[in-house]
Chains A and B, each alone.
Chain A
Amino acid sequence: MAELIQILVSGLAAGSIYALAAVGFTLLWQASQTINFAQGEFVMLPAFFVLVGMTVLGLPMWPAIGLGLVLSLLILGVAFKRLIVEPMLPHGTLPLVIATIALGLLLKESVKELYGATAQPFPAVFPQTVFNVAGASVSIQDIGNLVVSMLAIGGLQLFLNRTRTGRCMQASAQNPAVAEILGVNVKRMVMYTFLINAALATIASVLISPIYLAKFSNGETLGLVAFIAAIVGGFNQIRGALVGGLLIGVIDNLSALYISAEYRSAMPLILLIAIILLRPQGLLGTPEGRTV
């Protein structure tokens, strides 16, 4: 039982970080029909911005995280939208998908060239202490990661549902032509979405890098898992991405314990196949028709 609690908590903690990246997937898709296959690299990169701030500029951890956030907003938010999505989107979804795959490779190889291929230690945001719950060892870091991720996603939901700007963002995603005629600044709303995605990626990066260390290749697994989480939960629902992320985090850890560590990474893929076959709109997603 104690072991199960331990596995559940660490699964939820890891899953909540996957959820941050998965929510970014769904946001970009809804706002601009962008499937960002560089999303994993978007989570990998901010950790290196923080490390540059600390090692090159000599900044303490929190100012370095602030610097990482600003750079992420500018590069992964503004520049990504202006330089890649806007020019590519008129050519259709597929060219944009290919462009984001290329961007992912570029980011990965650039980090490898500029910062090296070895995994870099990353400062922990939470203390490494472990405490005992019903016989299970639970780390403050896991609880902290879970709480921060949930707060970020909950805050995003509140922002989208309870503010005028949030509603305008939803309107822009659901019917951009009409939103524009009603006076909504659709371009600005789409830009907000890209900025939010960059901010979520930064949070995910800062939370996950102390566990897996900062490495150029971290995005490969993260991007895939987040993509699967978004599909499993429902690509058109933020809460679907949340559920998908948590579910995959838990299944990943449970399968390592109860099935086999070797098949651990296969479990999310098996879940993905099952969902596509049985409920293609995802667990919480709604079916969407498209005119072709």
Chain B
Amino acid sequence: MNAPVLSVRNISKQFGGIRAVSDVSFDVHKGEILGLIGPNGSGKSTLFNCILGQLRPTTGHVEINGKPVDRVRPADLSLLGLGRTFQQLSVFPKMSVLDNIILAGQEHEGTMLSRLFGKPDAGLTGKAEQLIEFFRLTPYRDTPAGSLSYGQQKLVDAAMAFMAGPGIVLLDEPAGGVNLTMLTHLKERLMTYNIEHGTTFVVIEHNMEFVMSLCTRIIVLAQGEIIAEGKPEEIRANQMVIDAYLGG
């Protein structure tokens, strides 16, 4: 198997006397769709935030393509090829769908002159329009993102995550609050993107059906520890997982 694109190495996170994540390690390989599931309070959100650099782990570290990213700001992770979607809606509500997606892709550094006098779209309109078409948002290209439905805004969020051309995308509860039709559409688009571009996904999600049908491998957390890992059908049949969810 090729080298992992994302490695979580012995991550633990302690909040006062509570150990939210306990010595978790796993690798994610190129093109995988990894699901990270667990009952409420299992530590998956904490682990996710540690991977994204929004929480500093008590011990352990994260590597992207073999490079430790402990000291990388969350904003700079995109430069290392890590994209993300958000649990809460993350669009800029008064900007058009097109502008939202362009903003997600443009490099925010550069000189003051280039940011003042360079092309306002940073030459990204074509690429943004491709993503708009891919997610079938073309009728809403110039619509303020805030006026779209919740599910459509989730699609905009996904398009924004893909705009910088990341190798890995972390999807934070993409199914949350999305209706069934839109959810099927979102899942189909993510799977197509994965096949066409070889992009790796890590999905944190409560919706079991969504995870089971989308992911190629699943890791189950309970009380901050990995209790199971395997293909969806293996996880579905795992007694420890059933017990964890049923409180057994």
Q: Which residues of A contact B (CB under 8 A)?
A: 159, 161-165, 167-168, 170-171, 174-175, 178-185, 286
Instruction: A180 to B79: give the CA distance in the assembly, Å.
Output: 14
A-B residue pairs in contact (CB < 8 Å), sample of 21: A163-B115, A163-B117, A164-B115, A164-B118, A165-B112, A167-B95, A167-B102, A168-B103, A168-B108, A168-B115, A174-B92, A174-B93, A175-B93, A178-B86, A178-B91, A180-B74, A181-B74, A181-B75, A181-B84, A182-B108, A183-B108
Query: Cβ of B90 and Cβ of A175 under 8 Å apart?
Result: yes
Residues of B within 8 A of A180 (CB): 74-75
Query: Cβ of A170 and Cβ of B95 under 8 Å apart?
Result: yes
Residues of B within 8 A of A182 (CB): 75, 78, 103-104, 108, 160
Instruction: A84 to B234: give the CA distance in the assembly, Å.
Output: 58
B residues 116-172 touching A (CB-CB < 8 Å): 116-118, 120, 122, 160
Query: Cβ of A178 and Cβ of B92 under 8 Å apart?
Result: yes
Q: Which residues of B contact A (CB under 8 A)?
A: 74-76, 78-79, 84, 86, 90-95, 99, 102-104, 106-110, 112, 114-118, 120, 122, 160
Given A170-B95, A171-B92, A175-B90, are A183 and B120 neighbors across the interface (CB < 8 Å)? Answer: no
Tell me which of A167, A171, A179 contacts B120 (CB under 8 A).
A167
Query: Cβ of B94 and Cβ of A163 under 8 Å apart?
Result: no
Instruction: A165 to B117: give the CA distance in the assembly, Å.
Output: 9
Query: Cβ of A183 and Cβ of B94 under 8 Å apart?
Result: no
Question: Closest CB of chain A to B143's CB: distance in Å?
Answer: 14
Query: Cβ of A178 and Cβ of B90 under 8 Å apart?
Result: yes
Tell me the nearest residue of chain A to B93, going by C-beta: A174
Given A163-B120, A165-B116, are A183 and B95 neighbors across the interface (CB < 8 Å)? Answer: no
- The 7 residue pairs across chains A and B that have the minimum distance between CB atoms: A183-B108, A174-B92, A178-B90, A183-B75, A164-B115, A165-B115, A162-B120
Query: Cβ of A167 and Cβ of B84 under 8 Å apart?
Result: no
Question: Closest CB of chain B to A170's CB: distance in Å?
Answer: 7
Query: Cβ of A171 and Cβ of B95 under 8 Å apart?
Result: yes
Instruction: A170 to B160: give the CA distance in the assembly, Å.
Output: 17
Tell me which of B76, B94, B120 contacts A164 (CB under 8 A).
B120
Knowing that A181-B75, A184-B108 are A-B contacts, what are 13 other residue pairs whose CB atoms are under 8 Å apart, sorted by A's residue number?
A: A161-B120, A164-B122, A165-B115, A168-B108, A174-B93, A174-B95, A175-B93, A179-B92, A181-B74, A182-B75, A182-B78, A182-B108, A184-B75
Instruction: A178 to B75: give the CA distance in the assembly, Å.
Output: 9
Query: Cβ of B75 and Cβ of A175 under 8 Å apart?
Result: no
Query: Cβ of B76 and Cβ of A183 under 8 Å apart?
Result: yes
Instruction: A174 to B84: give the CA distance in the assembly, Å.
Output: 19
Given A183-B78, A183-B108, A183-B109, are A174 and B90 neighbors across the interface (CB < 8 Å)? Answer: no
Instruction: A162 to B116: give the CA distance in the assembly, Å.
Output: 9
Question: Closest CB of chain B to A286's CB: distance in Å?
Answer: 8
Instruction: A68 to B99: give the CA distance in the assembly, Å.
Output: 37
